[in-house]
């Protein structure tokens, strides 16, 4: 097909503007993506570390003992017979701190009145509606030495 000179020009012009438009779009697009990444800080994998939680004999049958992680957050350890369980105090609903209410033998979350049984299962409030439970914190018992460890998030350190 033969094109007249005029038509050639329009086609060439079209190509030029398409390339230019595309280039503009791509570069501003790249800028936008980078801008978005700029405001979303990099996710650093949080490291954990083992913490000495006490002698096994410090944990009494049926009692709840409060420990603290490295950020000062409470972790509640409960002993049932020979079984030790550690619970995070972060409410699975929306992240408030639950408290252990000794008189009711329950955990209570003041934010939306969530109630949790001794074994961490929610029995009242929105966490119960959603079938949630308190997260367990990894716990290790060294029976030979009679000591207990919990695994908690490490605080940020400059390396």
Partner 1 sequence: MAHADSAVPKKNRAARFAVLFPFDWDSVQHISAEPVPYHLKKWWFCLGGTPMYLFVVQVVTGIALTFYYVPSPDHAYASVAAITQHVRFGWFIRSLHKWSSNLMIVAVFLHMLRVYFTGAYRHPRQLNWLFGFGLLGTTLAFGFTGYSLVYEQLSYWGATVATNLMEAIPLVGPYVAYFMRGGPEVGEQTLTRFFILHIGVLPTVIVVLLALHIVMVRLHGVAEFTFPGDNITEENRFFRFWPEHATTEILIGVLLMYILTILSLIFPAHLGSQANPTVTPEHIKPEWYFYFNFRLLKLTSLNISVVLTLCIGLIALFWPFVETWLQKKFRLPDKASVIIGVVAFMGFLILTVWESFAN
How far apart (Å, rounded) are the C-alpha atoms in residues 71 and 31?
Answer: 37
Q: Note the residues at the interface with partner 1 (CB under 8 A).
A: 39-41, 43, 68, 71-74, 93-99, 109-113, 125-126, 129-130
Per the DSSP assignment, residues forming a β-bridge with 59 are none
| CA–CA gap between residue 134 and residue 41 (Å, rounded) | 28
> Quick one: which segment of 2-10, 46-54, 71-79, 92-100 binds ligand FES (CB under 6 A)?
92-100
Indicate the residue among 63 and 97 with the shorter CB distance to partner 1.
Answer: 97
Question: For partner 1, which is the closer residue by CB, 120 or 125?
Answer: 125
Q: Which among 127, 83, 129 has a CA at the least distance from the CA of 106? A: 127
Minimum separation from the CB atom of position 89 to partner 1 (A) = 8
Nearest-angstrom CA–CA distance, 149 and 75: 12
Q: Name the region of 105 (left: φ>0; alpha: ψ -120 to 50; beta: rest).
A: left
From partner 1, ligand FES, none, interface partner of 119 (C-beta below 5 to 8 A by class): none
Q: How far is the CB of 96 from ligand FES (least distance, A)?
A: 4
Q: Which residues would be at the binding site for ligand FES (CB under 6 A)?
A: 91, 93-96, 109, 111-112, 114, 125-127
């Amino acid at each position: 097909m033969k094109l007249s000179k005029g038509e050639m020009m329009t086609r060439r012009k079209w190509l030029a503007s398409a390339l230019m438009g595309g280039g503009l779009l791509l570069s501003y697009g790249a800028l936008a993506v980078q801008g978005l990444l700029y405001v979303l800080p990099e996710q650093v994998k949080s490291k954990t570390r083992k913490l000495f939680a006490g002698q096994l004999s410090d944990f009494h049958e049926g009692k709840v003992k409060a420990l603290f992680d490295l950020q000062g957050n409470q972790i509640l350890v409960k002993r049932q017979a020979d079984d030790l369980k550690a619970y995070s105090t972060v409410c699975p609903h929306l992240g408030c701190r639950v408290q252990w209410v000794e008189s009711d033998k329950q955990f209570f979350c003041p934010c939306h009145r969530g109630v949790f049984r001794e074994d961490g299962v929610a029995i009242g409030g929105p966490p119960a509606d959603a079938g949630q439970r308190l997260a367990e914190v990894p716990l290790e018992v060294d029976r030979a030495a009679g000591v207990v460890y919990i695994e908690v998030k490490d605080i940020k350190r400059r390396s």
